[in-house]
Homo-oligomer: A and B are copies of this chain.
Amino acid sequence: MSASPKIVLIGAGNVGYHLGQRMVERGLELIQVFSRTKEKAKELGKLLNVPFCTNLDAIQKADVYILAVHDDAIGSVAKQLNIEEKALMVHTSGATPSTVFKPFAKRYGVFYPLQTFSRDRTANFEEIPFCVDANRKKDRILLEQLAQRLSPKVYQITDKERESLHIAAVFVNNFTNYLYQIGTDICEKEKVPFDLLKPLILETARKVQEHPPEKMQTGPAKRGDEATIQRHLKNLERFPHYQELYQHLTEEIINFYAK
């Protein structure tokens, strides 16, 4: 394999869109992009000035295939990809074990940028940690070197570690965003602007960049302020689901700090 391996990017969703741009920006040898959706393939191909295709049979010979597709499509795409034995196949998923590739490739691994990507938001790769892994040591090093060309933050993370990391990510990203949704909903029903909470949301996230969350916990549950908790629960009778969640989280916090 050459010092700068030839790469094919499979998938032009949020991850593919940003990862492709970063790879081209940093001079990696991206030789082709694929998406089943013609508009997406074309858009990304043109943006990157790289050939695109919409048919897996038209995928070119390469050294590394990066599958940036939905978790549940990784297996079936890998199966359909007719790659050479010496090629390396990786995916960009936090949730999927690298062993998904075992039946389809001799050399396989993971190339996981741990961030939430949106089409219309700039991705700051200088801050995005890459978690890499491979079934062969040489490929772990290769993927580490590739990732280092995209970000200063590169970690070798095993499947087992990555599963825990992904679960933790579900808590701090998916579930947190849902709490934001609840906040929005409560504000809307009361007709107070959700904007009032935005600086608080940002500061809460900033604090944890520098301080352990355990030390930053505040609020009625942490204080054991039963009067406020009861007033809140009564107020939340309008929203039985939120009331139940308030109670659950409050009990957890009380238990946690009683330890």
Contacts and interface: CB of A to CB of B under 8 A. Distances in A.
A209 interface: yes
A208 B180 contact: yes
A228 interface: yes
A227 B72 contact: yes
Contact of A208 (B165, B201, B222): B201
Copies of the chain in the assembly: 2
A26 B163 CA distance: 51
Interface in A83-130: 95, 114-116, 118, 121, 124, 127-129
A217 B183 contact: no
Interface in A177-219: 177-184, 186-187, 189-209, 211-214, 216-219
Nearest to A126: B199
A207 B124 CA distance: 13
A116 B218 contact: yes
Contact of A218 (B174, B225, B228, B235): B174
Given A116-B200, A180-B208, A199-B128, A95 B220 contact: yes
A26 to B, nearest CB: 18
10 contacts: A71-B225, A95-B228, A157-B192, A167-B246, A168-B182, A175-B253, A177-B208, A181-B213, A181-B217, A241-B255
